[in-house]
Amino acid sequence: MIYPWQTDDWNRLQQLRDHWPHALLLHGQAGIGKLRFAQHLAQGLLCEDRRANGEPCGACVACNWFAQGNHPDYRIVVPEALAAEAGIGNGADEKAEKADTDDGKKTRAPSKEIKIEQIRGLLDFVGVGSHRGGARVVVLAPAEALNIAAANALLKTLEEPPAGVVFLMVSARIDRLLPTIISRCRQWPMSLPAPQAATQWLAAQGVAEAPALLAEAGGAPLTALALASDENRALRDWTLKQLAAGPECDAFACGEALQKLPVPLVLGWLQRWMYDLLAQRTAGAPRYFPQASAALTRCASQADASAFARFTRAVTRQRAVENHPLNARLVFEELFLGYRELFA
């Protein structure tokens, strides 16, 4: 099923059916359901009882295989980390993983990249004919996770697409894709749902404080839903209080309290807070933390403008290396000390 806010995109896309592009790039903000949309689109392309609106029937043999994750003409390529998180299985990967464990090897953190081995496996798949005589469909997400070797390997296939193969690529960071990849795809921008529709949907999922969470999620409903059940929410609220304290922010307490959290998570909070400080100053209204408006106004009026720009750059630099192994405690201490200096 697609999400209710995607109906318009779905209907407009069906107009491409007679001339379906061999590669479609669905892009837009993270947390709006692009991957699920792509999967549903894939099922619609593989369904053997195709309806006028491209909706998969849910009952034919192809739909049943698809639901069980073993349609022979379908592949989904995602980084290991996403596969584990979203429960997306691929027979071959699972076997390889199991072999690792059986050997008693040390388990490593699942990769966040799409690796060349995965693309090679995919090329084997697109190299053979269709099992069912219809389209072969590949969903690849997120495209920005392709490492450089994998992207180049994929590019060759996109340049000379095998007949009957459809690529459905998903990206939240189109700016991180190789321009040559983008130029081989038909781009399809997917926009944020209207706030009212998103809030309604969140309320229907049982989310209290839907408007505040939606704001914090930058308008992305799935991100808001994840925030609602975020086990780190108490620490997040505590961190926001520290930031709201401005010159009284206790950098060492932050290092101590947050050291077990993933660096990208805390950097995300900090970055959104900095965005809101600037938005409060320039536009008079925050985007992510409207409930902290009073504290943001106070901090914005106290912060030094040039120090502000420097610190924002420092946070951005940290984001660039956030996935590398770092001493989280030291990183946080340094960042929150830098934050306090804004008010010196």
What minimum distance in Å lies between the beta carbon of 65 and Zn ion? 10
Q: Which residues would be at the binding site for Zn ion (CB under 5 A)?
A: 47, 49, 56-57, 60, 63
Show the DSSP H helices in the chain as ranges.
7-13, 34-46, 61-68, 80-86, 91-102, 116-127, 148-159, 179-183, 195-204, 210-216, 221-228, 233-244, 251-258, 263-282, 293-302, 305-320, 328-341
Rounded to a whole number of angstroms, the minimum distance from the CB of residue 42 to Zn ion is: 12
Please identify, using beta-carbon distances, which residue of 42 and 177 lies nearer to Zn ion.
42
DSSP per residue over 105-152, as a string? PPPPPPPSSBPHHHHHHHHHHHHS--SSSS-EEEEE--GGGB-HHHHH
Residue with tokens 């690849």: 140
What single DSSP character describes residue 35?
A: H
- Residues 35, 170 contacting (CB under 8 angstroms): yes
Q: Least distance to Zn ion from the beta carbon of 168, Å?
A: 17
d(CA 338, CA 330) in angstroms, rounded, equals 12
Q: Nearer Cβ to Zn ion, position 53 or 302?
A: 53
Bridge partners (DSSP) of residue 186 are 24
For residue 71, the minimal CB distance to Zn ion (Å) is 10
* Smaller CB separation from Zn ion, 53 or 191: 53
- Rounded to the nearest whole angstrom, what is the least distance from the CB of residue 6 to Zn ion in the complex? 19
